[in-house]
Amino acid sequence: MSENLSPDDIRFCIRCGSPLVSRLRAGKIRPTCSSCGWTYFPDPKVAVTVMVVSQGRVLLIQRVNPPQEGRWAFPGGFLDAGEDPQEAAIRECLEETGLQVRITELLGAIGRTQTPIGAHLVLTYGAEVIGGTLQARDDAGQAAFFAPQALPELAFESSETIRAYLKREASGQRTAGR
């Protein structure tokens, strides 16, 4: 994971290499090139996660890298530039668990940074298994299904998403699919 850069971290123009100065651009003081006028606009880092429920059990992976190393989370990762979020979620699940999934719905979006090197926006999709063999891969130490009442120590806000999903399922509500 790369660290999120603040405007104070950006000192030189990526186009011409000239020093940046602070100027009012688009309603805010932003680093702006003193020569060519290029302006640095910090873009949000987006991550996708997948909540797969099978036979009432939730799929989780144990993280082997910081942040939250050793804790469990939904399979997921950063969205690449130009990548469709649903395709990224499918890719991340396969990379980390060996399971092929089909996205069924958008469960939620969290718009706040949870760790200093994390995403600004996290999209969580519901999905169902359509193939593959469960095995921890890539940056997952373990991959397993857990009963909601027997969850391990969770990273990030996974537990909030699981609780909201279970509450919704108990009440019979469903959100719009794809």
**What does pTM read for this prediction?**
0.81
Within 10 angstroms of residue 19's Cβ, the number of other Cβ atoms is 11
Neighbours of 177 (CB within 10 A): 9
Give yes or no: residues 27 and 85 share one domain: no
Q: Which residue has the tokens 């680093």?
A: 31
Verify that 5 and 68 share a domain, yes or no: no
Beta bridge partners of 125: 50, 106
CB within 8 Å of 46: residues ≥ 6 apart: 78, 79, 85, 119, 120, 121, 122, 123
Spatial separation of the C-alpha atoms in residues 46 and 55, rounded to whole Å = 30
pLDDT in tens, the chain (178 residues): 345 667 778 899 999 999 999 999 999 999 999 999 999 998 888 999 999 999 989 999 999 998 889 999 999 999 999 999 999 999 999 999 999 999 999 998 888 776 666 778 899 999 999 999 999 999 999 999 999 889 999 988 776 778 787 777 778 765 444 3
Q: Where in 4-45 does DSSP place strands (E)?
A: 20-25, 28-33
Residues in the chain: 178
Q: How many domains does the chain contain in total?
A: 2
For residues 60 and 100, state if they share a domain: yes
In CATH, what number is assigned to the domain containing residue 145? 3.90.79.10
Give domain status of residue 13, yes or no: yes
N- to C-terminal Cα distance for the chain? Answer: 28
Angular region, 132: left φ>0, alpha ψ -120 to 50, beta rest:
left
Domain that holds residue 122: 46-171
Is the domain of 15 the same as that of 91? no
CATH for 24: 2.20.70
